[in-house]
Amino acid sequence: MCFTTLTEAIQNKYAPDLYRWHRSAAIEGDRMPDNEEAEEVLLSLTASHLDIGMRGIPVGTCRTSSVSADGGVHYVGYPIGEVAEMDPEDIVFLLFNKKLPSKEEASAFRKDLFSRAVVPEGVLQVLDNLPREGHPMDWLSIGIHAMGMVGKTDDWKEDALNLIARMPWLMAAIFRIRGGRSGQLPVVDPSIGMVESFVAMLEPETEEVADMVKVLRTFLVLHMDHGGGNLSTFTGKAVASGHADVYASIASAMNALSGPLHGRANQSCLEFVQRIGTDDPVKVEEFVRAELAAKRPVFGFGHAVLRVEDPRATFQFSLGERICPDDENFRIIRTLREVAPRVLSENPRISNPNANVDIASGTLLHHVGFRKPAYYTTFFGWARVIGIGAQIVDERINARSGKGVPIYRPKYIPVGQERN
Of the candidates 49, 135, 145, 262, the residue annotated as catalytic is 262
pLDDT at 207: 76
223 in active site: no
Write out the chain's pLDDT in tens, 420 residues.
Answer: 444 444 554 455 444 444 444 444 334 344 444 444 457 788 888 889 999 999 889 999 999 999 999 999 999 999 999 999 999 999 999 999 999 999 999 999 999 999 999 999 999 999 999 999 999 999 999 999 999 999 899 999 999 999 999 999 999 999 999 999 988 999 999 999 999 999 999 999 877 899 999 999 999 999 999 999 999 999 999 999 999 999 999 999 999 999 988 888 888 899 999 999 999 999 999 999 999 999 999 999 998 888 999 999 999 999 999 999 999 999 999 999 999 999 999 999 999 999 999 999 999 999 999 999 999 999 999 999 999 999 999 999 999 999 999 999 999 999 989 887
pLDDT at 8: 52
Q: Which residues contact 390 (CB under 8 A, 6 or more apart)?
A: 64, 92, 95, 96, 160, 225
Are 379 and 216 a contacting pair, CB within 8 Å? yes
HEC readout, 88-141: HHHHHHHHHHCCCCCHHHHHHHHHHHHHCCCCCCCHHHHHHCCCCCCCHHHHHH
Q: Which residues contact 206 (CB under 8 A, 6 or more apart)?
A: 212, 368, 369
- SS3 category, 66: strand
The partner residues of 253 in beta bridges, in order of sequence, read: none
Of the candidates 74, 223, 226, 303, the residue annotated as catalytic is 303
How far apart CA 69 and CA 47 sit, in angstroms, is: 24
For 68-404, which CATH class? mainly alpha
Are 413 and 9 a contacting pair, CB within 8 Å? yes
How far apart CA 143 and CA 138 sit, in angstroms, is: 8
Of the candidates 358, 366, 367, 394, the residue annotated as catalytic is 358
Rg (CA), the chain: 23
Of how many residues is the chain composed? 420
For Cα atoms 214, 215, 217, give the angle at the middle one, nearest 5 degrees: 65
Say what the pTM is: 0.90
How far apart CA 251 and CA 385 sit, in angstroms, is: 9
> Residue 403 has what DSSP assignment?
T
How far apart CA 122 and CA 59 sit, in angstroms, is: 39
Residue ranges of domains in the chain: 1-60, 68-404
How far apart CA 304 and CA 373 sit, in angstroms, is: 24
- SS3 category, 407: coil
pLDDT at 27: 40
Amino acid at 315: F
Please state whether 401 falls in left (phi above 0), alpha (psi between -120 and 50) or beta. left
Are 87 and 79 a contacting pair, CB within 8 Å? no
Amino acid at 277: G
> How does strand 72-75 pair with strand 65-68?
antiparallel
| Element (DSSP H or E) covering residue 22 | strand 21-22
Residue 135's Cβ-side half-sphere holds a number of Cα atoms within 13 Å equal to: 16
358 in active site: yes
Residue 74's Cβ-side half-sphere holds a number of Cα atoms within 13 Å equal to: 14
pLDDT at 263: 85
Distances (CA, A) of 218 to 313, 379, 402: 11, 11, 34
Burial label, 136 (beta-carbon count in 10 A; 0-12, 13-18, 19+): buried
How far apart CA 338 and CA 364 sit, in angstroms, is: 18
366 in active site: no
